[in-house]
Amino acid sequence: MCDLLVESNLAHSAGISVLSTSDATRDFREIARSGAWSRAEGPPPLDARSCSRAIVLDQPLLVAQPGPLCSGSKDGIPVHEALLIPFYHGAAPVGLIWLLSHDERREFDREDLRLMGSISPFVSAAHRMNAVSHQRRLSSFGQAARQSMERQKVLVAELQHRVRNMLSIVRYVFSRTVETSADIDEASMHFKGRLDALARTQVIVAQSPSGLVDLEVMIRDELLSVGQGDGATLIIDGPPVQIDAVAAENIGLAIHELTMNAIKFGALGVPGATLDIGWSVNMDERGRPILNLRWVETGVPIVPVVGQRDGFGKELIEKALPYRLGAETRLDIHGGGVRCFISTPIEIRGTAAAMEAPDA
């Protein structure tokens, strides 16, 4: 995890520290470290008072020119900024992910906070898995202990794969948003909305023991985020379907783009217009389950092309979904509203292997 954060240029140094349970004080025990500070011996000189403040406030803490945050520097490596992000066991914060920049070339901002907020649930899940594994080791011997360790390795490998894939998607979304936006304000607005959509999906994944996402819950969460619920003009209908996290990230982004377009130009912004969202699951000739998802707007007099202002939504549906999911998609624009059809293979059980985002 820490290696990925440094390799992705999110920080010069990164680490994970957990609260000590040996006494009543808020002492921290480091469990991982990467980057410039990884070459130094001994614990990182992070000031416990600043770390405790992030725990007490139960929110990320950004400290510029830390000073007292660090009681010294590792082998003469100074700290320019520090970003502390809590992670949890249940509802209680139990540790911190810390990111450090060592000079003014890397400064943290709100998008870093937003991205780390999406990654924090993965660290929380890894901490819980490690706690469960520890209890199992205490109560098991020999083969049972070895099996537990193997399961933990598989889970950690899957976690690293998921984080790498999510960072790849974020980079893709960011680059395409910047390239297809008219100015920085427009790019910032669109990127925030898309990152929020990804974050909502990650929350659902983190809360699911199976790592699968309920399709209806994901769709309703997106619509509720913009104040849209059931009614005479909004129909949501389909059987219970759970999809893996990779499919959820990509389909969730498509639903977000369609929702934003419908608010600006389509059925969610025109009085009397209707939106019908439905899905079914059928088997293809090879016996694979295929999710057939439809988005049909009616009663809209004039509809611009989806994503006309930035092109991202149209590109996502017509190019990215076929590339990343092997989906067949169709996007129709007509006088009554947008019609979008997505047909994609899904995994009924387990999590499908993540695919890299397409080149920006």
140-199 per-position pLDDT tens digit = 555 655 666 777 777 666 666 666 676 777 777 777 777 766 678 777 787 888 888 888
Is position 67 within any domain? Answer: yes
H helices of the chain, in order, are 2-7, 48-57, 110-139, 143-179, 184-207, 215-224, 245-264, 312-315, 321-325
Q: Is the domain of 289 the same as that of 186?
A: yes
Burial of 217 (0-12, 13-18, 19+ CB in 10 A): middle
Is position 128 within any domain? Answer: no
Q: pLDDT tens, 5-45?
A: 778 778 888 888 888 764 445 677 777 778 877 766 555 55
CA distance 276 to 270: 14
Q: Phi/psi at 328 (nearest 5 deg)?
A: -105, 130
Q: What is the pLDDT of residue 24?
A: 45
Q: Any idea what the CATH number is for the domain that residue 218 is in?
A: 3.30.565.10
Q: Is the domain of 42 the same as that of 180?
A: no
Is position 355 within any domain? Answer: no
Q: What is the pLDDT of residue 159?
A: 64
Question: How large is the average pLDDT for residues 264-269?
Answer: 87
Mean pLDDT of the chain: 77
Task: Please give the residue range of the domain that contains residue 200.
Answer: 159-345
**Count of domains in the chain?**
2
Q: pLDDT tens, 216-260?
A: 999 999 999 888 877 768 999 999 999 988 898 899 999 999 999
Is position 97 within any domain? Answer: yes
Q: Is the domain of 13 the same as that of 86?
A: yes
Q: Is the domain of 74 the same as that of 191?
A: no
Q: Is the domain of 224 the same as that of 307?
A: yes
CB atoms < 10 A from the CB of 351, how many? Answer: 18
Q: Any idea what the CATH number is for the domain that residue 54 is in?
A: 3.30.450.40
Q: What is the pLDDT of residue 148?
A: 65
**What's the start-to-end Cα distance of the chain, in Å?**
24
Q: Which of 56-65, 168-177, 300-309 has the lowest mean pLDDT?
A: 300-309
Q: Which of 55-64, 236-245, 330-339 has the lowest mean pLDDT?
A: 55-64
Q: What is the pLDDT of residue 129?
A: 64
Is position 271 within any domain? Answer: yes
Q: Is the domain of 196 the same as that of 263?
A: yes
Most trustworthy range by pLDDT among 40-49, 100-109, 272-281: 272-281
Q: What is the pLDDT of residue 290?
A: 93
Q: pLDDT tens, 132-147?
A: 554 555 555 556 556 6
pLDDT tier for residue 74 given thresholds of 50, 70 and 90: low
Q: Is the domain of 166 the same as that of 78?
A: no
pLDDT tier for residue 339 given thresholds of 50, 70 and 90: very high
pTM assigned to the model: 0.54
Q: Which of 36-50, 54-68, 126-140, 303-317 has the lowest mean pLDDT?
A: 126-140
DSSP state of 319: I
Q: What is the pLDDT of residue 67?
A: 52
Question: How large is the average pLDDT for residues 76-104?
Answer: 82
Q: What is the pLDDT of residue 115?
A: 79
Q: What is the pLDDT of residue 60?
A: 83
SS (HEC) of 263-288: HHCCCCCCCCCEEEEEEEEEECCCCC
Q: Is the domain of 193 the same as that of 279?
A: yes
Q: Is the domain of 103 the same as that of 166?
A: no
- 71 or 299: which carries more pLDDT confidence? 299
- 103 or 156: which carries more pLDDT confidence? 103
- 56 or 46: which carries more pLDDT confidence? 56
Is position 42 within any domain? Answer: yes
CA distance 188 to 168: 19
Tokens of 333: 């624009």
Cα 176 → chain centroid:
17
Q: Is the domain of 42 the same as that of 175?
A: no
- In percent, the amount of the chain with pLDDT more than 70 equals 74
Is position 310 within any domain? Answer: yes
pLDDT tier for residue 76 given thresholds of 50, 70 and 90: low
Sorted by sequence, the CB contacts under 8 Å of residue 138 that are 6+ apart come out as none
Is position 316 within any domain? Answer: yes
Looking at 108, 138, 167, which one is the last position of a domain? Answer: 108
User: Does 355 score more than 50 pLDDT?
Assistant: no
Q: Is the domain of 37 the same as that of 173?
A: no
Q: Is the domain of 178 the same as that of 323?
A: yes
Q: What is the pLDDT of residue 136?
A: 55
Q: What is the number of helices (H) and of strands (E) in the chain? A: 9, 12
- 39 or 214: which carries more pLDDT confidence? 214
